[in-house]
Amino acid sequence: TKLAAAGACIGLGAGIGYWVAKEKDTIPNAQDTRVLGSEIAGLKVPAVIPNTDYENEAKPAYYNDTATPMHQRMEALVLDLQDRLVVALESLEPSRKFIRDQWEREDGNGYGISCVLQDGEVYEKAGVNVSVIEGTLAPGQLRSMRERNPQTANKLNANEEYDFRVAGVSVVVHPRNPYAPTAHKNYRRFEVYRKSNKEAGPVLAWFGGGADLTPAYLFEDDVKYFHQTLKQACDAHDPQYYPRFKQWCDTYFTNIHRDETRGVGGIFFDDLEDKAPEELFHFAYDAGSAFIKAYVPLVAKRMTMPYTLRERNWQLIRRGHYAEFNLVYDRGTKFGLMTPGARIESILMSLPLTARWEYMNQPEPGSPEAHLLEAVRTTTDWAK
């Protein structure tokens, strides 16, 4: 069949072809197990997903443009990553395109482009945001940066004023189908200048970012593929990056109050300045590009699977846990909310369109839902 051929082209195996007309998810009875999601009847998996072969594609001009300041090259990179991911995501979505909301800070210190798709057939909510901003570090921001990293504390005087400049891309995708995983990506470069002598250049500059996967239902082959793809990007630059950043991701993306990770991990790093800026920039390019290859085919693989109200409700419960992490623990959210003149709509873009909190929800032992909980309460080497 055409779907089987598409699955072979994507290279992720079976589990793609389900052409079943279904009823909309408006059934009031939670015990009703009729299948939901009439949207899947019109979905087609493309034979080729664009921008998923970054290793063999020509590098853009900014990649080796050492004559241009690094902050300008990073701006070009995040805009490029945004455009390429939007094209890849849209290749699966038949009903809508991303809206592009370009905005400028009221104080004139930067701009952003928020690409958002809501209420689609494939994506309930997806956001691919770019921010290129500068300003003065607020006391709380400076304190937080010094507390989390001793090297930063040595370089930044608590009694001195500093300006910052940052360019970053932030991505969160919440698919409609409960079997298609949520995913997050963020890559950025942060520079800090003495306010009294900005012309001298940055006193501190680092890269940060990562990508992680948050499924409601566990398909181990999908998780392994996601991790292996990110590992390949890391290994091209340093064989220690993947194990180091994978552990960092597991530790960082933890809902401490629930004693579980937000999802099944990926990679995460911050304050990265262990190599020459040029080499780290190339790593950011590869890792940011690898996310498209690692994630979008998983959505294609799962977006046509039939589901019932049971799976939909479990998806919403897991999204509630996702929102808990972003609002309680996420440093990027906190930093954004502490920034004067911040654009709240863009900062909170990561939150799902819908979520659910059930009192004392406990999955049945041995159920697929319980299997997911086991995965987020243990540490697994998915890249083996």
Q: Could you list the active site residues?
A: 184
d(CA 126, CA 108): 27
Size of the chain in residues: 384
Kindly provide the b/e burial profile for residues 191-226, where b requires at least 16 CB atoms within 10 angstroms of the residue's own CB. bbbbeeeeeeebbbbbbbbbbbbbbbbbbeebbbbb
What single DSSP character describes residue 138? Answer: P
Paired residues of 169 in beta bridges = 130, 187
Helix (H, G, I), strand (E, B) or coil at 191: strand
d(CA 323, CA 314): 14
| Three-state SS at 103 | strand
The one-character DSSP state at 196 is G
d(C-alpha 7, C-alpha 13), whole Å: 6
Q: Count the neighbouring beta carbons within 10 Å of the beta carbon of residue 372.
A: 20
Q: Is the dihedral of CA 91, 92, 95, 98 positive or negative?
A: negative
Q: How many Å is the Cα radius of gyration of the chain?
A: 21
Which residue, 133, 66, 103, 79, is CA-closest to 277? Answer: 66
User: Phi/psi zone of residue 266: left (φ > 0), alpha (ψ -120 to 50 degrees), beta?
Assistant: left
Q: In 3-state terms, the chain is what percent helix, strand and coil (to 5)?
A: 45, 20, 35
Tokens of 90: 């849209």
